[in-house]
A = this chain, B = another copy of it.
Amino acid sequence: MPTPAFAKSIATVSLSGTLPEKLEAAATIGFDGVEIFESDLLTFDGSPADVRRIAEGLGLAITLFQPFRDFEAMPDPIRARNLDRAERKFDVMEALGTDLVLVCSNVQPHAIDDPARAAADLAEMADRAQRRGLRVGYEALAWGRHVKRWRQAWDIVQRADHPALGLIVDSFHTLALDDEFSGIAALPGEKIFFVQLADAPKLSMDVLSWSRHFRNFPGQGQLPVTPFLKAVLDSGYSGPLSLEIFNDEFRAAPARLTALDGLRSLIHAEAEAGYGPGLPEPPVCDGVEFLEFAVDDAARASLAALLVQLGFRHAGHHRSKAVDLYRRGGVNLVLNSEEDSAASEHFQMHGPSVCAMAFRVDDAQRAMARAEALKCLSWRERVGAGERRIPALRAPDGTLIYLVNDDPAGDDPAGRSIWQDDFHMLPGDETDNGASGALTGIDHVAQALPFGRLDSFVLFYRAVFGFLPDSLWELPDPYGLIRSRALVSPGATAGRGVRLPLNISESRRTATGRFVGATAGAGVHHIAFSSPDIGPLVEAGLAAGVPFLPIPANYYDDLAVKHPLDDDALAALKQRELLYDRDEEGEFLHAYTDSFSDRFFFEVVERRGGYRQFGAVNASVRMAVQAQLREDRWPERYLD
């Protein structure tokens, strides 16, 4: 049942920049409030009252001041000092205009292990706070000296039994310890003063380092943040939902990009928990309807030549624009060389590259409504008379994503496809030529992302489209490690669904790193076509001059040792330079082309049985061969 939206807040430590920059970014993106992290205040050259004025001017509430450390259950000379310390920080809070301070559980070795003592100290602090109209929230740090879990903190809050003292819960501290959280739902909601949300990848390291460097936004990691949030909201909690993220990459990223991801993550988490105004259901994505390449005349000619070698034919041209359709079987590739268009802008920034993807969905309008509720930018292309306007939104790197209804009647009452509407279709065989194999569709579209942007894209595809993140792979390029995670539409099978491997490289010397540098961050790095019978397809391609990568003989010698392949099967692979993988569910055969203009390349894949992966074990062979070919073309001395 829909409820009003909860206020959305973010801790200043989650964003990069000076304090005014952080406040401005949070407000611009649409947050309602901020937690002021003390170190941001200490380094700010203005008074706490100045911070209050800036925040008020931006329409931001200051939801919390934090952290107040190592307060409770200290031996006596320190106890008195700590109460003085609290009064000084209350002065700051009054000037900031916030009524709530976060006290996190004591980590000092000389803290006393006595909940009654902790409760008495916190009651005293709360009493002093109450006299000034302020409140104290107590939170269990996962690495606290004695108090590590929310139940311990809640026990102390209950013992203290003071109206100005409440509990603060933080998803990271609870979920990092794999602690039980359903009990939070049974707490009185008004005694939960604040909730902080953070996700994280599952890492086997000490909790403190994990917390300080690897937290991320809900939906970017692997912790059950949504069920945690549901338990908190089931209690009747009515305060803000606030993000507190310590992350090395967020510290370096532009603040507005981070803030946008943060707000998207909160809107998504709130809806997933079953609260707030709700979101339209995510689309059911059946596949990739087309990919659009931004090209100039020269790149169009050479790309078209390569596509023809790959068995594509020129199937149509746009009614009013310099846009051509190449088609083979279920694969549509659009080459856009129209001047003064979004594609030409893309070409000028990024060179020949994919400027748009189109997903086939069950309901494009509902998908757009969900995307807009999740703060995506929609986009409207100019269209000629009688032409179709295809709903589109922008991915985080600016790539356009068109949404095409699976059933043409969803777009057009007459049930005409976008191709019939907007293109002069050229006569020719619409079905694939089975004699040279066949292409049934686009198996996957791999993107190279700038370092530090993986989490942002994972959240985008997960929240907006409901895609599921695969496990993280590490692929050794000869010049550095590539990290790869695929987002896959639910229920994808061979030939159906959308699969988007996302790759990042810390090194700028890898193919992925060079691609990001050369294209100023444009995304699509390679496009894989699916075939039910790759052998004849690759054979015909080789005969037509497709530059499929030559695979080293050593690879096949090792393959024979690794897998129970008979000599004929091995010879068939070797002859066609096919790469091979298998798992418990099936087999995978694939071949890559050399790269086009050192930008993107094509792959052909055949999935047998239930194989769901992407042949990651063979990526190092592909990258080494591509590096060697590139070096043969451009010797190292011209490259560095």
Residues 113-166 of A contacting B (Cβ, < 8 Å) = none
A59 within 8 A of B: no
A43/B557 in contact, CB under 8 A: no
- A side interface size, CB within 8 A: 60
A16/B621 in contact, CB under 8 A: no
A88/B557 in contact, CB under 8 A: yes
A252/B554 in contact, CB under 8 A: no
Copy number in the complex reads 2
B205/A561 in contact, CB under 8 A: no
B555/A42 in contact, CB under 8 A: yes
- Compute how far the CA of A178 lies from the CA of B364 in the bound complex, rounded to whole angstroms: 59
A480/B552 in contact, CB under 8 A: no
Which residues of B are found within 8 Å of A205, using beta-carbon distances? 203-206
Which residues of B are found within 8 Å of A41, using beta-carbon distances? 554
- Compute how far the CA of A631 lies from the CA of B19 in the bound complex, rounded to whole angstroms: 13
Which residues of B are found within 8 Å of A620, using beta-carbon distances? 39, 42-43
- Compute how far the CA of A640 lies from the CA of B256 in the bound complex, rounded to whole angstroms: 14
Instruction: Identify which of A180-188, A293-301, A505-513 touches chain B.
Output: A505-513
B39/A476 in contact, CB under 8 A: yes
A550 within 8 A of B: yes
Most buried by B among A251, A627, A631: A251
Which residues of B are found within 8 Å of A636, using beta-carbon distances? 21
A552/B46 in contact, CB under 8 A: yes
Kindly provide the distance from the CB of A62 to the nearest chain B CB, expressed in whole angstroms.
Answer: 15
Which residues of B are found within 8 Å of A206, using beta-carbon distances? 204-205
A553 within 8 A of B: yes
Over the window 11-46 of chain A, the binary record of Cβ atoms lying under 8 Å from chain B Cβ atoms (1 yes, 0 no) is 000001110010000000000000000110111111
- Compute how far the CA of A591 lies from the CA of B426 in the bound complex, rounded to whole angstroms: 75
Contact of A252 among B16, B510, B552 (CB under 8 A): B510
B45/A481 in contact, CB under 8 A: no
Kindly provide the distance from the CB of A240 to the nearest chain B CB, expressed in whole angstroms.
Answer: 24
Q: Given the interface contacts A92-B557, A557-B92, A624-B43, does A16 sit within 8 Å of B552 by beta carbon?
A: no
Kindly provide the distance from the CB of A81 to the nearest chain B CB, expressed in whole angstroms.
Answer: 8
A558 within 8 A of B: yes
B557/A251 in contact, CB under 8 A: no
A252/B506 in contact, CB under 8 A: yes
- Compute how far the CA of A628 lies from the CA of B204 in the bound complex, rounded to whole angstroms: 38
B252/A479 in contact, CB under 8 A: yes
Contact of A42 among B209, B554, B560 (CB under 8 A): B554
A47 within 8 A of B: yes
A48 within 8 A of B: yes
B252/A509 in contact, CB under 8 A: yes
A89 within 8 A of B: yes
Kindly provide the distance from the CB of A604 to the nearest chain B CB, expressed in whole angstroms.
Answer: 20
- Compute how far the CA of A16 lies from the CA of B38 in the bound complex, rounded to whole angstroms: 43
B16/A509 in contact, CB under 8 A: yes
Most buried by B among A48, A477, A509: A509
B479/A248 in contact, CB under 8 A: no
Over the window 74-95 of chain A, the binary record of Cβ atoms lying under 8 Å from chain B Cβ atoms (1 yes, 0 no) is 0000000000110011001000
Q: Given known contacts A47-B553, A251-B477, what 8 new A-B pairs fall within 8 Å (CB)? A: A39-B620, A42-B555, A43-B623, A45-B550, A252-B506, A252-B507, A252-B509, A254-B640
Q: Which A residues have a C-beta under 8 Å from some C-beta of B?
A: 16-18, 21, 38-39, 41-48, 84-85, 88-89, 92, 203-206, 209, 212, 248, 251-252, 254, 474, 476-481, 506-510, 550, 552-555, 557-558, 560-561, 620-621, 623-625, 627-628, 631, 636, 640
